[in-house]
Structure 1
Amino acid sequence: MKLLLDENLPKKLKFDFSEHEIYTVSDKGWNSKKNGELLKLMLEEEFDVLFTFDRNLQFQQNFRKYPIAVIVLNAQDNAYITLKELVPQIKEVLNKNLPTGPTEIKARA
């Protein structure tokens, strides 16, 4: 599976998904791209999933136009130590048939 970490996530998170082909926005040279443009580039390069911390993305984009799965990480902050706790949940979601559009993964209280 080909994954992309949005620029609002720590780059270190990519090492928790080494079983996949995974890139950061920075790896691709796509820094500062607007969400629609980023999703278009992802389609062109055949990405399967975008990981993001941007909870507004689901309300800003038409996922019929951009048929990409998006995993929205919802935690108190986007620090690696916080998001690392979500890795088992993320992997569980990746092992299922991901729907197009956003799937939110929340930190447990």
Structure 2
Amino acid sequence: MRILFDQGTPVPLRRSLTGHVVATAYELGWSTVTNGDLIRLAEQEGYELLLTTDTNLRYQQNLQGRSIAILVLTTTSWPRIRQVTGEIQAAVAAITAGDYQELPIP
């Protein structure tokens, strides 16, 4: 699966997503692109999943009819995210095109 990390997603998480192609908005030169445009660009470029930490995304964007899946992590804290990488891997494996899911991270 082609996965795009937005600005808030900790890059070390990439190591836990073996078997997937992971890029970051920063690496692609998209670090200043707003969420709506980022989703559109990601879809155009063939990304299947946007992994984000923006918990307000579903309130700010119309996500109806999108082909890209969106997985929201509820924190940007790498130490906290590192503790649940297994749950993140399972969520990534289960998500389907157009889905929106939030993964609460304690």
TM over 0.5: yes
Structure 2 equivalent of residue 25 of structure 1? 25
Structure 2 equivalent of residue 90 of structure 1? 88
How many residues of Structure 1 are paired with residues of Structure 2 in the alignment?
Answer: 106
Contact 1:86 1:105 in 2 (8 A): no
Alignment identity in percent? 26
Describe how 1:1-109 pairs up with structure 2 within 5 A: 1-75=1-75, 78-98=76-96, 100-108=98-106
Deviation of the 1:17 alpha carbon: 1.1
C-alpha separation between the residues in 1 aligned to 2:60 and 2:13? 25
C-alpha separation between the residues in 1 aligned to 2:94 and 2:43? 20
C-alpha separation between the residues in 2 aligned to 1:85 and 1:61? 29
Q: 1:60 to 1:67 in 2, by over 3 A?
A: farther
C-alpha separation between the residues in 2 aligned to 1:59 and 1:70? 13
C-alpha separation between the residues in 1 aligned to 2:32 and 2:77? 20
More deviation, 43-52/80-89: 80-89
Deviation of the 1:18 alpha carbon: 2.6
SS at match of 2:31: coil
Structure 2 segments unaligned to the other structure (5+ residues): none
Q: 1:72 to 1:97 in 2, by over 3 A?
A: closer
Contact 1:70 1:102 in 2 (8 A): yes
TM-score by length of 1: 0.87
Structure 1 segments unaligned to the other structure (5+ residues): none
C-alpha separation between the residues in 2 aligned to 1:15 and 1:97? 19
Q: Cα RMSD over matched residues? A: 1.6
